[in-house]
Structure formats: structure tokens, C-alpha cells
Structure 1
Amino acid sequence: MQTERRPYIRDSEENRREALIAATQALVAEGGPQAATVRAIAARAGVTPGLIRHYFGSKDELTRAAYTALVDGMTDKGADALAGVSADPGERLAAFVAASLRPPVVDARAVGLWAGYLHRVQADEGLLAQHERSYLRYRDQLQDLIAALDRGDKGQDRLRREAIACNAVIDGLWLEGSILPHGFAGGELVRIGLASVGAILGLDLTLYATFIPELTDQDRKTAP
């Protein structure tokens, strides 16, 4: 009697790449970059080590791809939030800031993974270049949202400085909120972020935040 054989299913290249990126991120989050060896990555992803070179060319390229997926993924969450709001520039900026200061962007695993990569940035020119591209991608999107506000002609230099300052505030709150989530009340990071970014820009962003579920009616009346 002939044994029935299971059909062979070839996984897509995209799925293989995603599995390798996810495995790399998991290993770095658990044990730092040194834990993400070629053999460990392949074992975690359930593939042979040779597939890393096949899909990424080298382990370094995979490391950069995993870092890009992390930081660009957080930027994408802010962009996704814009789809659910009106065309009002203030509302759109408030939505972008709020999305950057709530889960899943604010997340202990994400900040641990980010920190695991960060110490390698200065020693890896390719990773440094990718870090710069990802930073500018977020900052440029923030600058475009700021530029859309009706505040007169501020000039590109002024807008750039404002975007840098606002980005720094958001980064700091994201870092602390991810590491010490118990140190902030529900919605507090969002309230502080909106108030602080608004203070830099000279407007009250909480006035545009009626759609943000973290802010209760009382919060909106008393937000600093």
C-alpha cells in the first residue's frame, strides 16, 4: 500500500523574509545583538542558514532590515492614524502625536529592541545610514503636518527646528513610557505630548483631540 504524501507547499519570498526579520528581532530583544547569530536566527525562523544569504545577502543586511522594520513600523502607526481623522491640520497633527504615544508604539519590547540595535549604530555605517533615513522619514512627516497648520509663513528653517524639537519631546516620552509604563496614568503620555508639542508650536493641540479615546471630557477641559 502506497503511503499518502503531504503536498509540498512553497512559502512565498515575502513570508520567508518576514520570518527571518521577526526571528532576528526576537533574538535581539531577548539577548542583545550577540544572541542573533546566523544559526540561531535560522533555527528560530525554521529555515536553513543558507536562506539568510539568499534573501538578504548577509547577516548584516538582515540586521539592518530588522532595524528598519522596527522603526519604520512605528512611523507607519502614526501615518495610519491619519486615515481616521478629518482634513483639519490640527486634528491630523494631534492624531499623529497621539499614535506615537500609545500602544503598540509605546511598548517595552520595542524600546528594548531599539536599544539593542542602537549601540551598534556608530560601528556600522550601513546601520547608521538606515537610522538616519528612518529618523528623517518620521521627522519629515511631522514637519509636513506642522507646515499645514495655519500659522503664517514660518519658513523652512523654522519648520525644521520645530519638527526637531517636537520629535525630541515625542521620543523622550516614548522612551520613558515604554520603560516605565506603570509610572503614567492612562492617557497621560498623550496629554503631555499634545500639550508639549502645542507649546512648542504656540497652539493648544488638546482642542483638536476630541476623537482621542484616552482623553475624557474632563481631561480635555483641564489638559495643561
Structure 2
Amino acid sequence: MTERRPFQRETEDRRRDDLIAAALDLLAEGGPQAATVRAISARAGVTAGLIRHYFASKDALMRAAFGVFMQRMTAQAAAALQGAPNDPAMRLARFIVASVSAPVVDALAVGLWAGFLHETRRDPEMRAVHAASYLGFRDQLQALIADLPQRSTALDARRAAIACNSIIDGLWMEGSLLPEAFAAGEVIEIALISAGAVLGVDLWAAHETDRNMR
């Protein structure tokens, strides 16, 4: 019996993950009206009644899906820091570039985000998920900014992170929905130059130096 417990835990975690993945796929394909309990269970290969074993309600499943979706995008941006040089400006530039590039920049992702965001108006718990995901991304951005020699206080870094996050969010949205409105590499260049202007750092030059070092 002691050998079966880890397997059972892994199986339950896998089923829970499958339900979340099914919900996200259906939301991306057809919006909230497509993500019914019956459709989610069919896509995940389980009975509709089994959903209640993992989630107290469909709303609870949607909250979990929103959290996973947002954490995934933050993780995709943070993955760019793996193997990055030990240079604060280069590391920050890498994070910003990843945040406004594929796979983070994606039209389906914006559609999912907009659908979930609408739910935050009626569901305080969904709003809490949104707040946690926003702060999770902003905290990573703030930590990278705090490493720059130009940032003298925690308040400076926080306010700079809020400003830079706004730049990233706007370019992420428009770059995802209207990619044809931008020249190749233009979203990245605008993001780095704009964030660099806020911070007083030449992030474009740091990005170019980093690229030439690879």
C-alpha cells in the first residue's frame, strides 16, 4: 500500500490537470459557451460527475484554469532568464523580449485572458486569482529592475515595475491581436526603448549586446 499512494496522487493530479487543460482548450476554441461541464468532461475523458471530485463547482474549475493560464505565461517569460548573462540590464531585456514575443504573444491567449477578466467583475475569488497572477508577474519584473544600479529604493523599483508592466501589457495585447500592424521586430524594439526610457537604461543596447554574445 505504501507503494500505491504516490501513484494514486500522481493519477489524481493528472486528472485534475487534464480537466484544466480541457477547459482552457474549449474556452480558446469557442468561448465560455463552449466550456460546459459535459464538454469539459468529454474532452478530458472522464464522466461529468467526476469533476465534482476535483472541483467544488464549475466556477472553481474556471478559477483554477485562469490561475494555470496566467502562471504559464509568466513562466514562459521567466524561462528566457535561463542561461542569461550575469548583467542586470541584459537579464531585464531578456525578460521583456520574452514577454512581448511568441509563445506569450498569441491571439488565443488574449481571447482567453479577456474572457477570464470579464468574470472578475462578478466573482471576487476570480478577482483574487487575477490579482495574484498580476502581482506574480510584476514581482518578477520588479526584482529584475531592483537589480539595476539606477534603482535606489524599493518604492522606485515598484513604481518602475508598474510603469513597465503597463508598456508590456499594451504591446502584448496589440501585438497578439494586430501583428500585421507592426514591422518585424518592432514590438520588441518599442518595448525595450519605452521601458528603457522609464528606467533611464539603454535596454536596446543591452539586448543587442546579449544577442551578439550568444
Superposition TM-score, scaled by structure 1 size: 0.86
Report what 2:32 is aligned to: 33
Assess, with a 3 A threshold, how the Cα gap between structure 1 residues 110 and 152 changes in structure 2: closer, same or farther: closer
**In structure 2, distance between residues paired with 1:70 and 1:211:** 32
Report what 1:4 is aligned to: none
Preserved contact between residue 33 and residue 117 of structure 1 (Cα < 8 Å): no
Question: Considering only CA atoms, is the larger Rg found in Structure 1 or Structure 2?
Answer: 1
* Structure 1 residue runs of 4 or more that deviate by more than 4 Å after TM superposition: none
Superposition TM-score, scaled by structure 2 size: 0.90
Preserved contact between residue 101 and residue 174 of structure 1 (Cα < 8 Å): yes
Is 1:105 the counterpart of 2:91? The answer is: no
Report what 2:185 is aligned to: 187
Structure holding more helix per residue: 2
Assess, with a 3 A threshold, how the Cα gap between structure 1 residues 16 and 211 changes in structure 2: closer, same or farther: farther
What CA RMSD, in Å, does the superposition of the two structures yield over aligned residues? 1.9
- Displacement after TM superposition at 1:98 (Å): 0.4
1:73-93, Cα deviation, whole Å (9 max, x unpaired): 111112111112111111110
Segments of structure 2 that go 5 or more residues without pairing to the other structure are 1-7
1:203 to 201, 204, 214: 201
Sequence identity (%): 56
1:30-77, Cα deviation, whole Å (9 max, x unpaired): 232232111111112111112211122321111011111111111111
Report what 2:4 is aligned to: none
Segments of structure 1 that go 5 or more residues without pairing to the other structure are 1-9, 217-224
Report what 1:141 is aligned to: 140
Report what 1:168 is aligned to: 166
Aligned length: 205
Preserved contact between residue 106 and residue 177 of structure 1 (Cα < 8 Å): yes
Report what 1:59 is aligned to: 58
1:137-177, Cα deviation, whole Å (9 max, x unpaired): 00111011000001152x22222111101000000000000
Aligned partner letter, 1:194: L
